[in-house]
Structure 1
Amino acid sequence: MSAPKLSSKASRYCAQMGNWNVDEELKQAHKLIKSLVEEIDFKNHKLSMMQSNYEETIAHIRKVVIGLTETINSKDKKLLELEQRYQESSAAVRWLMNEKAMQGEVYGKEIRKLKSTNAKLRNGIEWHKKRL
């Protein structure tokens, strides 16, 4: 059996209904596409802002790291200078202590010589007193 033939009016009505459904579907698809495009644009903008914030943060962190590195290097340099001054001062103190020890030895020898000479002179005076 074959399908019954529609009248020309019925045919036109079915065609219009079909077109209406297609038009409605196209409108809905268009709305969906427009909505998706807006969402993509929004997310792209948000991503761009996040990228910008990230780059600003990285730039700030780099500046902080550079500043801290310079501070550390400066303090290291000062520390090395202090160490050098300490070494020089320690060497000077050791030299002075050595000099003091040597001076003490020389002084001790001189005192012993003077005491010896003094004793000899006293003995000489005593001998002269006895002779007189």
Structure 2
Amino acid sequence: MTVGAGGGADMNARGALGRYGEELAARRLTEAGMTVVERNWRCGRTGEIDIVARDGDVLVICEVKTRRAGSFEHPMAAVTAAKSDRLRGLAERWAQEHGGAPPGGVRIDLIGVLLPDRGAAVVEHARGVA
């Protein structure tokens, strides 16, 4: 892969931004009474689940999108129909590899993190989006 001038730094900054957003998201889930089971679970080339959590007897697959204020689109708008389909497939795969779906089933949530130039991050949690 060829990276243009400054591309490597951009990739590192984007990765740090994403990790920070995921940390805020995990904290929000914990504050809401959920248990974070796993983070950044990879499934070969199929993709990655940002956060796997339990909400009582429900398995929660959580996609986290982080954006800086002034970005072109809101973080929540970044989950397309194709991304939703991929998340459902990843959720099914995770459940299969970890003993099957729990009695409460599986839910896919989205957490959008918006980082303003100044002040606290805005963290939005949408349940059952896909």
TM-score, normalization by structure 1: 0.22
Which protein has the larger Cα radius of gyration, Structure 1 or Structure 2?
1
Higher RCO (C-alpha under 8 Å, 6+ residues apart): 2
* Higher fraction of helix: 1
* Higher fraction of strand: 2
TM-score, normalization by structure 2: 0.22
